[in-house]
Amino acid sequence: MNMTEATNLIPQGLRGKLRMDVDMSRYTSWRAGGHAQRIYQPADMADLIVFSRTLPADEPLLTVGLGSNLLVRDGGWRGTVLLLHAALSELRLEADGLIYAQAGVPGAKLARFAANNNLRGAEFFAGIPGTVGGMLTMNAGCYGSETWNVLERVQTVDRNGNMHERTPSDYEIGYRHLQRIDEKAGLNSAAEIFVGGWFRLEKGDGEISRKEIKTLLNKRITTQPLNLPNAGSVFRNPPHDHAARLIELSGLKGRRIGGAQVSEKHANFIVNIDHATAADIENLIEEVRTVVKQKTGVELYPEVRIIGEKK
């Protein structure tokens, strides 16, 4: 592994960890992909804000939570990765009954915290192996619930290190889709990252919520190939259908390119069975799209984010 601790390169006043030439397969659930030129893990929110101010305006910036919906191509990411998992990890119950969770808090932790405070409606987060920041960006969801349905407002930081609070009305929100309305309208809006969110949940019974979490997790164990590196569902479900059904119908279960394979257990999962490269995975995604289109006439669109340069 070619990884250099480069603390001497950290601009003065910063307290986080800066590393150069980092293998991103260590930070993505597919355990595949290229290197990032540099990666910064802030010490906390204040440190993240100071760091944002040190970044040149044109520096490509990629924010990463748990990398559970992300493929970094083998040629790597030329720019900075901001790693928020285990960095922004504050989680608390506010006086007004909302739960505040910073962007680096894992879904499972949020679900358990809500249950332990006798609040219901956050159980579904338990099975999503991402962070609050990733779940906000993706509007992650399952079993009929979605992240933004239980969200009161979010906290963001822009490239100049300014903090903002925004409400759902500031965004176009859809199935695994989120976009700032002013950005969509082509208005001058600076790129922002999510640093936290306030969740509004209903009063409930912790015991019942914990049981529900257990049931949801068991369901996943029986239906998903959790023993192999994967990134969850690769494709969005088309309207009124399931990508997995179409992939299976197209005879693609078990199809393999290099070390990547369409899971035998869940056809909308691609698993890394033997040192897959990002190219193996991306080529398999393309092949699945082509074959499904040929055989069923339906166009599938990836849910996973693919970034960086090809080798």
Ligand X SMILES: Cc1cc2nc3c(=O)[nH]c(=O)nc-3n(C[C@H](O)[C@H](O)[C@H](O)COP(=O)(O)OP(=O)(O)OC[C@H]3O[C@@H](n4cnc5c(N)ncnc54)[C@H](O)[C@@H]3O)c2cc1C
Secondary structure class of 29 (helix, strand, coil): coil
User: Is 70 one of the binding residues for ligand X (CB under 6 A)?
Assistant: yes
Give the nearest distance from C-beta 28 to ligand X in angstroms.
Answer: 7
Give the nearest distance from C-beta 251 to ligand X in angstroms.
Answer: 24
Give the nearest distance from C-beta 252 to ligand X in angstroms.
Answer: 19
User: Is 232 one of the binding residues for ligand X (CB under 6 A)?
Assistant: yes
Using the minimum distance from each CB to ligand X, give the nearer residue, 90 or 296: 90
Q: Which of 16, 33, 42, 65: binder of ligand X (CB under 6 A)? A: 65
Query: What is the helix, strand, coil percentage profile of the chain, to 5?
Result: 30, 30, 40
Q: Which of 33, 130, 204, 308: binder of ligand X (CB under 6 A)? A: 130
Q: In the chain, what is the straight-line distance between the N-terminal and C-terminal CA atoms, in Å?
A: 18
User: Is 133 one of the binding residues for ligand X (CB under 6 A)?
Assistant: yes
- CB contact set of 12 (below 8 Å; sequence gap of 6+): none
As a dihedral over the C-alpha atoms of residue 171, residue 173, residue 177, residue 178, rounded to 10 degrees, the angle is 10
Query: What residues from 183 to 202 belong to the interface with ligand X (CB under 6 A)?
Result: 193-194
User: Is 137 one of the binding residues for ligand X (CB under 6 A)?
Assistant: yes
Give the nearest distance from C-beta 295 to ligand X in angstroms.
Answer: 26
Q: Which of 16, 42, 76, 141: binder of ligand X (CB under 6 A)? A: 141
Using the minimum distance from each CB to ligand X, give the nearer residue, 42 or 129: 129
User: Is 135 one of the binding residues for ligand X (CB under 6 A)?
Assistant: yes
Contacts 24+ apart (CB under 8 A), 125-128: 126/213, 126/216, 126/217, 127/216, 127/217, 127/219, 127/220, 128/68, 128/232
Check if 176 is active-site: yes
Catalytic residue among 159, 176, 180, 210: 176
Using the minimum distance from each CB to ligand X, give the nearer residue, 143 or 290: 143
CA–CA distances in Å: residue 95 to residues 33, 92, 100, 107, 182: 43, 10, 11, 22, 32
Phi, psi of 102 (to 5 degrees): -75, 165
Number of residues that bind ligand X (CB under 6 A): 33
Check if 303 is active-site: yes
Cβ(138)–Cβ(233) below 8 Å: no
What tokens does 119 get?
């609040």
Q: Which residues of 234-260 are buried (b: 16+ CB within 10 A; e: fewer)?
A: bbbbbeeeebbebbbebebbebebbbb
What tokens does 236 get?
């969005």
Q: Which of 50, 71, 110, 140: binder of ligand X (CB under 6 A)? A: 140
Give the nearest distance from C-beta 199 to ligand X in angstroms.
Answer: 14
User: By the criterion CB under 6 A, which residues form the site for ligand X?
Assistant: 29, 62-70, 84, 103, 127-131, 133-135, 137-138, 140-142, 193-194, 224, 226, 230-232, 305
Which of the residues are catalytic? 176, 233, 303
